[in-house]
Amino acid sequence: MEAHSIPGAGDAAKDPAATQLAGHVVVVGSLNMDLVVRAARLPLPGETLSGSSFMTVPGGKGGNQAVAAARLGARVAMIGRVGADAYGEQLKQGLEAEGIDCSGVDISTGTPTGIAMIVVDDTSQNAIVVVPGSNGELSAVDLERHAAVLAVADVVLCQLEVPHATIKIALEMAQRLGKRVLLNPAPVCGPLPPEWLAAADYLIPNELEAAALTGMPASTVDDAILAAQALRLSGARNVIITLGARGIVSVTDDGVVHYPADKVDAIDTTAAGDTFLGGLAAAMSWGWALPEAIHFGQAAASLSVTRAGAQPSIPYLNEVRS
């Protein structure tokens, strides 16, 4: 990765406040408590397996991406919802401990905090079932109430684990405010409206999401390039497809580039994509060019897969730059 100078980077440590250096990222999205089970393999339909461990870990794509951007050097604010329960309190306290502005995190009194049930096998693959809970109550009214939070952003990062109507409004507000907008279309079951694609500066699916968006395979580098080109023809401005161990493909006005992944001994891939997105958003908030921002996000994600858990696996800035 090309060296860049970030004010105060020499002071970065595992103190979250010390890693928040320059650039402002606002994440609009989900906050879940992850209930993580490890087993030798993923269960078949109707099958009961014995697991080897269980733990509760703060998660949700929005929460993971916010923590990643904060640990990797950006000033971060979160817009989302939690329930009035123990999980919600733990999630909010965890974000605040990372130095994340939670003034945009509201509390749903009648709906529990969202959860994700995650099974991880011995090859580090996972299967996830999400129950949205309070995430499903994030609304356009919430966004309007927290418009001042969006207004200070350099980069706005959204996913699809909250109501799609709310994300549509978030994309429109961010575009209207002249922010750089990143859309991670996860989870997704089919094509998105063209206006959604056009509202995001960067559409960033993984290979499965790219296939769902286009109806085309995207598991190889060549297939991912074709899928990204199809997404651009459908209205997306710039497309970045993450391919796990096969790296990343970007298709933009500047051309087509494949970024190979670092070879690492993976333990748990749960938050790798979210770590990449947080690192990418942080680097973009500093004004880095796309290739350097992608390399930075990749370096962070490569570290994350060598550790267990979602947010516990996300590295700090000094680790990535060491």
Write down the domain spans for the chain: 9-31+60-112+133-321
Please give the C-alpha separations between residue 15 and each of 20, 101, 175, 301, in angstroms, as whole numbers. 9, 16, 33, 20
Q: Looking at per-residue confidence, does 228 or 11 come out higher?
A: 228
Per residue in 202-251, pLDDT (tens digit) is 999 999 999 999 999 999 999 999 999 999 999 999 999 999 999 999 99
Is the separation of the CB atoms in 271 and 116 below 8 Å? no
Residue matched to tokens 């598991």: 219
> Edge to edge, what strands does the sheet with 155-158 contain?
101-108, 75-83, 24-28, 155-158, 180-183, 202-203, 239-242, 248-252, 255-259
Q: Quick check: helix, strand or coil at residue 32? A: strand
What is the secondary structure of 248-262 as a DSSP string? EEEEETTEEEEEPPP
Identify whether 122 is a catalytic site residue. Answer: no
Q: Which of 34, 223, 268, 274 is catalytic?
A: 274
Residues across the chain: 322
- Tell me how crowded residue 271 is: count the other CB atoms within 10 A of its CB: 29
Mean pLDDT over residues 188-192, rounded? 91
pLDDT at 74: 97
Per residue in 14-32, pLDDT (tens digit) is 444 444 457 999 999 999 9
Is the separation of the CB atoms in 64 and 316 below 8 Å? no
**DSSP 8-state class, residue 160:** S
pTM: 0.89
Weakest mean pLDDT among 10-24, 58-72, 114-128, 243-257: 10-24
**Spatial CA neighbour of 149 closest among 77, 99, 92:** 77
% of the chain beyond a pLDDT of 70: 93
- Tell me how crowded residue 283 is: count the other CB atoms within 10 A of its CB: 28
pLDDT averaged over every residue in the chain: 91
Query: In sequence order, what are the residues at sequence separation of 6 or more whose Cβ sits closer than 8 angstroms to the Cβ of residue 17?
Result: 99
Per residue in 148-164, pLDDT (tens digit) is 999 999 999 999 999 99
So what CATH class is 9-31+60-112+133-321?
alpha beta
